[in-house]
Amino acid sequence: TRKLTVITGASSGLGLNCAATLAKTGRHFVVMACRDVEKGKRAAKEMGMPDDSYVVMKLELGSLQSVRDFVFNLKAFKSARPVNNLICNAAVYKPTDPEPAWTDDGFEQSMGINHFGHFLLVNLLVDDMAKAKGARCCIVGSITGNTNTVGGGLVYPQADLGTLSGFEKGAKKPVAMADGKPFFGAKAYKDSKVCNMMTVSELHRRYHESTGIAFSSMYPGCIAETSLFREKRPWFRKAFPWFMKYVTGGYVGMQEAGERLAQVVDDPQCTKSDVYWSWNGGAQQVGRWSPDGKPRGAGGSGGEIFENEQSDAVRDRETAKKMWELSVKACGMD
């Protein structure tokens, strides 16, 4: 029987390519959790996903009610069958907005969608996933949340949750930032990614032993062509893929990035919990894993997967615990 695999933000970019990769293996039935269901359906067709390999369901992460509704609908759809894999992939990035935009619940959107929406989603599904054998949960991270790498550390601004005084104040309008300081879009995204990665470690500490679920994060490489950069200027969208490809070497194509994310839930060797997966050797090299099980030849895709180090900021246990407790409050789970 096929694994039941849920992917958020599966209507474009990394999520879509991951969904298509998994669906085509024949080993997964994919639930594409999308804010725009029609867009998700069109995208699945364009990718040539077999008709009986997926379903598109509504999920607006900028609304905690929508998250709850999604879980309700998902449970009705799948009945007793547990969720085997949950991939939290959706995100927004708003580096050029001068003013914060807010979610239905009053969170600044990057933190609200990328972190709080997923935080509630995972928490609502943990019990269900515990019933599956070898369940896996991956929250997509980023080096931008990692202060010890070039992309995350040297490129201004840095992620910094401070003492979480913004979360302490409730994390809602007019409070825009986790540290309680004035809105700064590029930093809000990085802060949200740090929260994503801290959530993985906290999930591991709290639930791995009792549930057997493997919790992980991953950095897919820089997929410079996705819509994540839709708010950047045209010259940037042209120059950025080139820069990542030839200058930093961090560039990865969209399909290959999707295969990397798929690997985290499909490769029998990725069962370890509390891991931050990354790939070395760059894209387009010989890799061990491939969706069809046949090793790729030279020139094929697939850098080699490895367990990367978390940044000190992400490993800060005390802040992670506080982040968790304040997120529970902010999401009305207490």
In sequence order, the 6+-apart residues with CB closer than 8 A to the CB of 178 are 111, 161, 162, 164, 166, 167, 171, 191, 195
Sketch the per residue contact string, 274 through 313, with ligand NDP: x for CB under 6 A, - otherwise.
Answer: ----------------------------------------
Provide, rounded to whole angstroms, the least separation between the CB of residue 211 and ligand NDP: 24
Q: Phi and psi dihedrals of 78, rounded to 5?
A: -90, -10
Among the residue ranges 18-26, 156-164, 226-234, 292-300, the one whose residues contact ligand NDP (CB under 6 A): 226-234
**Which residue, among 220, 218, 222, 219, has the nearest Cα to 242 in the 3D structure?**
222
**Interaction between residue 185 and ligand NDP (CB under 6 A):** no
Nearest residue by C-beta to ligand NDP?
13
**Which one, 12 or 21, has the nearer CB to ligand NDP?**
12
**Which one, 13 or 303, has the nearer CB to ligand NDP?**
13
**Which residue, among 113, 145, 89, has the nearest Cα to 257 in the 3D structure?**
89
Instruction: List beta partners, residue 56.
Output: 32
**Interaction between residue 222 and ligand NDP (CB under 6 A):** yes
Helical (H) or strand (E) element with 24: helix 13-25
**Which one, 132 or 138, has the nearer CB to ligand NDP?**
138
What number of chain residues touch ligand NDP (CB under 6 A)? 29
Taking every pair of C-alpha atoms in the chain, what is the biggest distance, in angstroms?
A: 54
For the record, the structure tokens of 51 come out as: 């008709």
In sequence order, the 6+-apart residues with CB closer than 8 A to the CB of 22 are 5, 7, 28, 30, 262, 265, 266, 291
Alpha carbon distance 171, 175 (integer Å): 6
Contact 24, 50 (CB under 8 A): yes
Q: Which of 54, 93, 189, 207 is catalytic?
A: 189
**Which residues 6-65 are close enough to bind ligand NDP by CB under 6 A?**
8-9, 11-15, 35-36, 39, 59-62
Write the CA distances from 119 to 20, 111, 143, 198, integer angstroms: 25, 11, 20, 11
**Which residues 91-150 are close enough to bind ligand NDP by CB under 6 A?**
91-92, 113, 140, 142
**Which one, 8 or 211, has the nearer CB to ligand NDP?**
8
Alpha carbon distance 94, 87 (integer Å): 22
Provide, rounded to whole angstroms, the least separation between the CB of residue 285 and ligand NDP: 19
Tell me whether residue 207 is one of the annotated catalytic residues.
no
Helical (H) or strand (E) element with 33: strand 28-34
Provide, rounded to whole angstroms, the least separation between the CB of residue 128 and ligand NDP: 20
Provide, rounded to whole angstroms, the least separation between the CB of residue 161 and ligand NDP: 17
Provide, rounded to whole angstroms, the least separation between the CB of residue 123 and ligand NDP: 17
For the record, the structure tokens of 58 come out as: 């509504």
**Which one, 41 or 205, has the nearer CB to ligand NDP?**
41
- Sequence letter at residue 259: E
Contact 120, 185 (CB under 8 A): no
**Which one, 56 or 222, has the nearer CB to ligand NDP?**
222
Among the residue ranges 130-138, 205-213, 224-232, 325-333, the one whose residues contact ligand NDP (CB under 6 A): 224-232
Alpha carbon distance 238, 225 (integer Å): 9
Enumerate the active-site residues.
Answer: 189
Task: By CB under 6 A, name the binding residues for ligand NDP.
Answer: 8-9, 11-15, 35-36, 39, 59-62, 89-92, 113, 140, 142, 219-220, 222-224, 226-228
